Amino acid sequence: MLKAKVYVTIKQSVLDPQGVAVQGALHSMGFGEVESARIGKYMELTLDTTDRAEAEARVKTMCEKLLANTVVEDYRFELEG
């Protein structure tokens, strides 16, 4: 069993309105040191395999095809187990 932790974030070049709203909220709460906030997605996939290389290639394809929209999002993932 392997676990893939997938992080999908909006590209730096693209405005993240949710992040801006959260930053504004933090500022109004007195956390003025927050220079920026970006909101992303975190996904955990449990994989029925022990082959790390194979899993890596498969998760990459999953990210490219479905989990991230590469027009506006970056992704990265970690394999555990």
User: Which positions lie near another protein, rule CB under 8 A?
Assistant: 14-15, 17-18, 21, 41, 66-67, 69, 71-72
The length of the chain in residues reads: 81
Q: With respect to another protein, which residue has the nearer C-beta, 14 or 34?
A: 14
CB of 60 to another protein, least distance (A): 17
Token couple for 4: 């893939």
Q: With respect to another protein, which residue has the nearer C-beta, 18 or 49?
A: 18
CB of 26 to another protein, least distance (A): 16
Exposure letters 1-16 (e unless 16+ CB within 10 A, then b): ebebebbbbbeeeeeb
Q: With respect to another protein, which residue has the nearer C-beta, 18 or 61?
A: 18
Q: Alpha carbon of 28 to those of 17, 22, 31, 32: distances in Å?
A: 17, 10, 7, 8
CB of 72 to another protein, least distance (A): 5
